[in-house]
Amino acid sequence: MAKQKTLHDAFYETLKDVYYAEKQSVKALKKSAKAAEHAELREAFETHAEESAQQVERLTQVFEIIGKPARAKTCEAMQGIVSEMEEDLEEFEGSPAADAVLAACAQAVEHYEIARYGTLKTWASQLGYAEAATLLDETLQEEKKADALLSKIAEAINTDGTPEDAEPAKKGKKAA
């Protein structure tokens, strides 16, 4: 009979998943930075790519804390988000909406990471890994900050979201 899975097993498996996802995030952010037209968006991608590289190092520390090897497990969710980003990059390349689409794709990554780091932080606390919980919370706060910055930038770059032949929506009213 197979050994029953525990919260520790779930923590380790999710940690491996996030380790993979974070490594993919670094690559995606670098690619997004090269594609971004707006300087502020490009700078946000470059800065968060550096932060993400540090987050990978933090994850390595968490693996050490729990006494397990730092191993990546293919993260289907991140593969899907990155694949969608690549499709959108190709489809919207050179268009006025390209940076808006890039920002949206980056936020999809951030939201996934926020969900995962929140879960891992909670589980680390429940499992008695206080130091790991602190490290995971540090990353969680960085992800939330990156998401908020992307929202702020998106508002600035999405100022003209209407087709050329459409009437712009009046402030406070939704377009039909």
Q: Spell out the per-residue pLDDT of the chain, length 176, in tens.
A: 788 999 999 999 999 999 999 999 999 999 999 999 999 999 999 999 999 999 999 999 999 999 999 999 999 999 999 999 899 989 998 888 899 999 999 999 999 999 999 999 999 999 999 999 999 999 999 999 999 999 999 988 876 554 444 444 444 444 44
pLDDT value for 160 = 56
Distance separating alpha carbons of residues 22 and 86, to the nearest angstrom: 17
Closest CA to 157 of 35, 38, 45: 38
Cβ–Cβ < 8 Å for 95, 111: no
Residues 54, 60, 64, 65, CA torsion sign: positive
pLDDT value for 158 = 72
Q: Which amino acid is at 51?
A: E
